[in-house]
Chain A
Amino acid sequence: MHFRTQTSPHMTPAHNVGQVMRRVLYALVPGTLAMAWYFGWGVLINVALAVVLAVGLEALMLVLRRRPVIPTLSDYSAVVTGWLFALALPPLTPWWVTLVGVGFAIVVAKHLYGGLGYNPFNPAMVGYVVVLLSFPREMTLWLPPMPLSEVSFGPMQALAAIFLGQLPPGLTWDAITTATPLDLMKTELGRNLTITEIRDNPLFGDFSGKGWEWIGNWFLLGGIALLFMRVITWHIPVAVLGGLAVTAGLFWIVDPDAYASPAFHVFSGAAILGAFFIATDPVSASTTPMGRILYGLGIGVLIYVIRTWGNYPDAVAFAVLLMNMAAPTIDHYTRPRVFGQKPPRRENGGTP
């Protein structure tokens, strides 16, 4: 009897990319729901819109690039990109902002660089930075979190605001929007107020902003689930949060009135989401164990530096993109010691 041959290993691989990405999506659900709880239907509409746009644009790019469409779409990477991008948006962001951001993320940052696996930068963060720089007004339309907001938007009202730019009668954008806790911290510190004074503002909760800290907790839960599902390793999230907390702690110990506490920094803005879901994007991150720690520490320190002395209140996107650039170099210098070899082999130069 004759048989067809194939080389080893013969056992069917245990995972596929689609499975990995789907697990990331499951882990995003609790944090996303928490965000919708505090900021209303707009969050869910943003996510749905961004995901639809991301998948549509990915399909379009695949057709243009003459690549197989269905197998590639079923890797769910476009869904993850769209979803993460949407989580960075204010809850009532106009639809065209989402279109521009997702378009940049999928078309430019991902496919023009060669598609999944070849993009040096995190596509969702590229999209976010583009809209942040291009539409600064729209990107600051944050609502107060649920316990503080006087008006609540129903699903239809949120749809009208996002797609038509119409607010319910009698409301103006100025009336309903408010600064995020990070914004407030930055502007008030600029006015030489002390942290204690700033924290009297009703926006602040136990560690950071009301609502924000709980959103952070739910994303943390999802992140821990990712660790248990072995989708990510502990190196990057621990290093990001550790780098941020330690840097913040140093300044806080020196002058707790001029510098916010480490807990405030960790639970504010996108720090936890970034540490577990954005910085861990494998394609654009470091891949060696030591490299991942350095990469994460870099992000953590940069978040603090940009938040404290930069022009933007939050900094996860910039920090991630900056460290994306450093990832290949970090990998080059952090090769693990090979079994049976004594000193880790590091050569000088010779990089391709």
Chain B
Amino acid sequence: MTEQAHKLHRFHGGLHLPRHKEESTRDPVLPMRIPARLIVPLRQHIGESAEACVAPGDRVNKGQLIGRCDTYVGAAVHAPTSGRVVEIADHPVPHPSGLSAPCVVIEPDGRESWGESRLPPIEDYLDADPVSLRNRIREAGIVGLGGAAFPSAVKITPRPGQTLDCLVINGAECEPYITCDDSLMRTHARGVIEGIRILMQALKPRCCLIGIEDHMSGAIAAMRDALGGDEAHGIRIVPIPSLYPAGGERQLIQVLTGREVPSQGLPADIGIVCQNVGTAYAIYRAVAHGEPLISRIITVTGKGVQHPRNLEVLIGTPIADLVAAAEGYTDEVSRLIMGGPMMGFALQSDAIPVVKGTNCILAASHEDVAPPGPVMPCIRCGQCAEVCPAQLLPQQLYWFARAKDFDKAQDYSLFDCIECGCCAYVCPSNIPLVQYYRFAKNEIWAQERERRKADIARERHEFRQARLEQEEREKAERLARKKAALAAKQDDTADDPKKAAIQAALERAKARKAAQEAEQMSAEKADKEPSG
């Protein structure tokens, strides 16, 4: 199968970073032992949190649904192994701010028994109905495993009037240190390819491109082997230049197709769906084997652990157990990072569990993440603008964020920043640029929330005002109606002789009374006059 080379495109900027990939790829993937406790967060994805559907004390099977999610953008959560639910309570979850969220805590029984909980495998998945495949992906709680954890079923469902004609599979893994996708492709290439074919069956795209950074020769060879060449079944494996952030969704799409995802838009807007290789593999397991997403491969690496490697981990395993599987910390450990060194976030504690979107635990040493020198003034050298993959002007954004001139920052497309960290990495003045952008974004969001709140308050006030006015009006109308009715009644009396007689009698009595009163009054006057 000799094909002409796929035409590659370039994205703006980018960085050649020290890769640090060898450390964790020396040994094969190690399936981890079942930990003593699993802490499974009910919200591990973008969208609504799942609702716990088990109670403390319940026995659960491996793969049993423990968190139900009925909203469209959301994902179900399943028991990673069999055991007993100990509690459902708030625990610290992986989040940059270190917040706690509801988790189901399971004490494994070590039996790994599926019971009745395995979903019925779809054997003939290459002929299956797209809707049933999408439903399976949804039931299995599959989310994007590249890190963003967006519910996959939503991503592969075209909106009305939309055609999704190109499937892009992300195997680029551009961030330093991370090798979980590399390991997955080397060990489960066939499963990944089958997963991609399932995605194609669900989407029916015109083309499918797998982007893998060209330094991952082992992964590329394994994938070629599994596919039977560079191109088969409408799928094409494309080695791409190693340049951070080539694995960013927008960047990868540009490199492979030359198309730009519109600013503030989604790949679907230009007919593209992008899925990670890990997601494809999870889809294969869910469809062909009926296994929901309960485990994944995670890289544990950095000079902070004794034995960097890749582990197959049950979702909900505390990070401390992963570190133990990597033979513990070294003395050099100084920072614990979930994700890579460019976009990952630092964790406060290793008691936090791993979630579906966790690709890497980086125990960084002082040397890996040495504190930069003192922050110096910006010298406008423009290196940040040269490396920015979104082609922004980071130095200008920095000035606007610093001056809290948020309108101007938005005018300079602040929200097109993907926070890849290239600008901060090249900044000779050591300015924490990304922090400034996050600050500005958060301030703008906060302002918008305030504005929305104020709008709601104003609407409510106006509604109340209108309601009161209406009530007032209705009351007045009612009164007027009553009066009118009364007046009409009085007019009616003229026609009724009996009533007229009564009326006449009443009037006579009134006149009499008035005359008496007048007499009495004049008498009183007479009495008073002499004394006055």
| A interface residues (Cβ-Cβ under 8 A, vs B) | 1-17, 19-20, 68, 71-72, 75, 77, 115-118, 230, 233, 282-283, 285, 287-289, 292, 331, 335-342, 345, 347, 350, 352
Contact = CB atoms under 8 A, between A and B. Distances in A.
A12 B372 contact: yes
Interface in B421-454: 421, 424-430, 432, 434-435, 438
B265 interface: yes
B413 A345 contact: yes
B250 A339 contact: yes
A11 B17 contact: yes
Interface in B304-346: 320, 329, 334-337, 339, 341-346
B11 interface: yes
A10 B380 contact: no
Contact of B432 (A7, A285, A331): A7
A19 to B, nearest CB: 7
Shortest 4 CB-CB contacts between residues of A and residues of B: A9-B421, A117-B377, A5-B346, A340-B263
B98 A5 contact: yes
28 contacts: A3-B335, A4-B334, A6-B346, A7-B96, A7-B435, A8-B341, A8-B343, A9-B424, A9-B425, A9-B434, A10-B335, A10-B368, A11-B17, A12-B369, A12-B370, A14-B425, A15-B426, A17-B379, A17-B428, A71-B373, A71-B376, A116-B377, A117-B377, A338-B413, A340-B260, A340-B264, A341-B413, A341-B416
Contact of B369 (A11, A68, A340, A347): A11
Given A11-B341, A13-B424, A288-B393, A347 B411 contact: yes
Nearest to B372: A13
A157 to B, nearest CB: 40
Interface in B380-405: 380-383, 385-386, 389-393, 395-396, 405
Q: Which of A17, A118, A292, A340 has the most chain B CB atoms closer than 10 A to its own CB?
A: A340
Contacts, number: 185
Interface of B: 11-12, 17, 96, 98, 176, 250, 254, 260-265, 320, 329, 334-337, 339, 341-350, 362, 364, 368-374, 376-383, 385-386, 389-393, 395-396, 405, 408, 411-413, 416, 419, 421, 424-430, 432, 434-435, 438
Contact of A115 (B371, B377, B424, B434): B377
Contact of B341 (A10, A282, A283): A10
Contacts of A338: 263, 390-392, 413, 416
Contacts of A20: 379, 381, 428
Given A1-B329, A7-B435, A7-B438, A118 B348 contact: no
A43 to B, nearest CB: 27
A336 B393 contact: yes
B397 to A, nearest CB: 11
Contact of B349 (A1, A17, A287, A352): A1
Nearest to B319: A1
Contact of B379 (A11, A116, A230): A116
B349 A3 contact: yes
A6 B251 CA distance: 26
Given A11-B17, A341-B413, A17 B329 contact: no
Contacts of B426: 13-15
A115 B378 CA distance: 11
Given A6-B335, A9-B343, A15-B427, 4 more contacts: A2-B348, A11-B341, A13-B424, A14-B426
A282 B377 CA distance: 12
A237 B429 CA distance: 24
Contacts of B392: 338
B376 A10 contact: no
Contact of A10 (B264, B344, B419): B344
B428 A15 contact: yes
A81 to B, nearest CB: 13
B502 to A, nearest CB: 83
Contacts of A8: 337, 339, 341-346, 419, 421, 434
Nearest to A340: B263
A350 B364 CA distance: 45
A3 B304 CA distance: 12
Contacts of A6: 335, 346, 369
Contacts of A9: 341-343, 421, 424-425, 434
